Amino acid sequence: MSVPPPTDEAGLSDSEEWTAPVGDSGDPLPTLGRDLQFEGAVWSVVTDHVDFDGRGARRDVIVHPGAVAVIALDAEDRVLLIRQYRHPVGRYLFEPPAGLLDATGEPPWATAQRELAEESGYRARHWDVLLDLYTSPGGLSEAIRIYLARGLAALPDGRPHTGEAEEAHLPRAWVPLDEARDLVLSGAVGSPSAVAGILAAWASRATGWASLRPPETPWPAREHLLASDRVRLPRRNGA
């Protein structure tokens, strides 16, 4: 009979086999100092001096405001995607409506509702939390919450053209959910909000939407980032 490896209170064994329940957790390691390298209009770049149990290391971090995205499904289970230019990768990507959490005092669900209207010209009667994720936790503090929106209706006056540059022209595409899944798995669609959101919607539908959570469900990942100074908060008066 095999004997499980000994573990400490955190669940880490001498052989580095994790035996405790699986789930993101833990407190930040001590930060001995922080150097601001860059502060832009949307995010900042800092260098943190981290204490890894007595061993120091420098980690460059993009401090992000966080974001929301919306997987909107119509009555035929077609996903609403918009085509938007993304300059960092130099390509037009198909993505769900999404936006930064950069409006002072605006709850994430309200931001999702606003972004769905502004980027697609639609509103929704039924809202749920589909999933939460970190987009690139190796160097970026962004946490994103993806909502599922159903019961869609077009805004009477169409999409309000509040954006500029990339957001001035956002063509809509209605893609059956099964086809959207195949586009993700084939590599034809690669935006993280689209990949995660489409696959989560497809998987949740297969279980009768049993995994959905109410739209105002607490968001522990964002609360953790806020408490540990890992969110780029909106600047007042343009500062």
> Is residue 195 within a helix (H) or strand (E), and if so which, with residue range?
helix 192-206
Question: What sign does the dihedral 47-66-196-20 (CA atoms) show?
Answer: positive
Instruction: Let me know: does 104 contact 234? Beta carbons within 8 Å.
Output: yes
Nearest to 73 by CA among 179, 157, 213, 161: 179
Place of tokens 């009555």: 75
Place of tokens 């990942």: 221
Our answer to whether residue 95 is catalytic in this structure is no
Q: What is the CA radius of gyration of the chain?
A: 20
Dig out the tokens for 197 from the structure.
């959101």
The one catalytic residue in 9, 95, 167, 223 is: 167
Virtual CA dihedral for 229, 232, 234, 238, nearest 10 degrees? Answer: 120
Q: Which residues are catalytic?
A: 167
